[in-house]
Amino acid sequence: MLSQSTRYYLPEPSHWPVVGSCALFLMTFGGVLWMNGVGAGPWTVIAGMAIMIYMLFGWFGTVIHESEGGKFNKQVDLSFRWGMSWFIFSEVMFFAAFFGALFYMRVLSVPWLASGETMELIWPGFAANWPISGPGIEETFRPMGAMGIPALNTLILLTSGATVTWAHWALKKNDRTQLIAGLVATVALGILFLSLQAYEYVHAYHEYNLTLGMGAYGATFFMLTGFHGFHVTIGTIMLIVILGRCIAGHFSAEHHFAFEGVSWYWHFVDVVWLLLFVLVYWL
């Protein structure tokens, strides 16, 4: 239960940030060694990753115990909500930059390259048709259409948005059975989405010759869909953690911001995918 203390909770000094910094150092240093052919490089990266996982379990576990121990009052809860809101806003700006790059290439730079006598001398015969690799790339590719896997993935993510809302509704009603069922369905749909996207990438590389080397279209396609897939992966991991906590009996109808924060994030990746489906696959 939420503590009704008027004092803002300040945690005790923690060693976890130092542990996390050591993990990041080992992963970075190991990556440098690996890229330069030093045999200890891969093992250093693995050691850093292991320490990072240990840090995540330890630090998150500490915060969970503080929350379940009733140390977070309404003022702390409000600060969490503002923090998550600003985090999602930063993610909106992150994707806005990439959508802006897509707009610039598709609407501005490609037509400029095909206009004027100077451009005709530099790139003779270049046509401003989208999708296109860009001037100077002789290989051809087939763009990824909206039907098939992209449309199916759109249905999957929209359904997952409904199932996580169902789980949230069940939590407010103190119905643990429906809560867990809704979360299990959401996690399963997230994993299915990622599996289909991985298959789509393999198909694009081998059947369509659609790779990162295919200039403007290839770069924007993999940049946008790849970063979105990364965010879906993070969201699925967070949902699995929340599912585990729900099975353990955490959260109540009045005190469940961790659940709400993850659901906000999941709805955010749903909306980004809708924009991707329309602007990258469909148009």
Domain ranges for the chain, please list them.
13-71, 75-282
| CATH code 1.20.120.80 for 75-282 | yes
Mean pLDDT by 10-residue block, N- to C-terminus, for the chain (283 residues)?
59 88 94 90 94 92 82 82 93 93 86 72 73 74 84 94 93 90 94 94 86 83 92 93 89 84 93 93 85
Contact 221, 280 (CB under 8 A): yes
pTM, to two decimals:
0.83
Q: Regarding the domain delimited by 13-71, which CATH topology (the fold level of the hierarchy) does it fall under?
A: Helix Hairpins (1.10.287)
Q: Which residue in this structure is represented by tokens 């449309």?
A: 151
Identify which of 200, 217, 197, 275 has the alpha carbon closest to the alpha carbon of residue 101: 217
Measured CA distances, 201 to 124, 130, 210, 227, 243 (Å): 32, 20, 9, 13, 29
Identify which of 144, 132, 140, 143 has the alpha carbon closest to the alpha carbon of residue 107: 132
Question: What pLDDT is attached to residue 20?
Answer: 93
Question: What pLDDT is attached to residue 5?
Answer: 54
Question: What pLDDT is attached to residue 118?
Answer: 64
Question: What pLDDT is attached to residue 164?
Answer: 93
